[in-house]
Amino acid sequence: MINKGMADNYLNQAKDCLKEASMAIDDKKWYRTVRRSQEVLELAIKALFRLFTIEFPKEHDVTPVIDEIIDKIPEDKREILRKAKEIMPLLAMDREPAMYGDEERGIPPDALFKEEYARKMFNEVKEIVNACDSIIKISKG
């Protein structure tokens, strides 16, 4: 029960961050959309690790261990985790610049990220969260 409770908590946090990412889109804050999308993805995937009692690295990019959960989820949801494996490293690299900008070149975060990229990441992450939500609900019976 503890793992399902933790999974629910992580997923709820992911959904909260997804709302914040959506508000950032409304405000045309592309850097914030990217930053929140990264948090959403990280929390949603880690919710699945909690659900299946699999320890994960305490890092933002857990791509190397995603394969440990792919076989544990319904086959029709596996492709979405493969998508998560593709974008998680990108968003993990974007996390710091989305917060601080490029300090070396003196470029603030709001000048680093474009609308098209931010919307693409948001939409992909939203799809992944919905799939994770479905997986967790199915596992509860």
**Domain count within the chain:** 1
- pLDDT for the residue 90: 96
Residue 11, domain CATH: 1.20.120.330
For residue 4 the two structure tokens come to 């399902």
Closest C-alpha among 124, 99, 129 to residue 14: 129
Which of 1-10, 62-71, 98-107 is predicted most confidently? 98-107
User: Over the stretch 82-124, which tens digit does the pLDDT of each residue have?
Assistant: 999 999 999 999 999 999 999 999 999 999 999 999 999 999 9
**Residue 46 structural domain:** 2-140
The residue ranking higher by pLDDT, 20 or 71, is: 20
Alpha helices in the chain (DSSP H): 2-26, 30-51, 67-70, 78-100, 115-140
High-pLDDT (> 90) share of the chain, %: 81
> Residue 1: pLDDT band by 50, 70, 90 thresholds?
very low
Separation of alpha carbons 125 and 73, rounded Å: 18
Beta-carbon contacts of 23 under 8 Å, excluding residues fewer than 6 positions away, are none
2 pLDDT above the threshold of 80: no
- pLDDT for the residue 141: 63
Q: What is the mean pLDDT of residues 70-91?
A: 93
Considering the entire predicted model, what is its pTM?
Answer: 0.93
> Residue 139: pLDDT band by 50, 70, 90 thresholds?
confident
Q: What is the mean pLDDT of residues 33-58?
A: 94
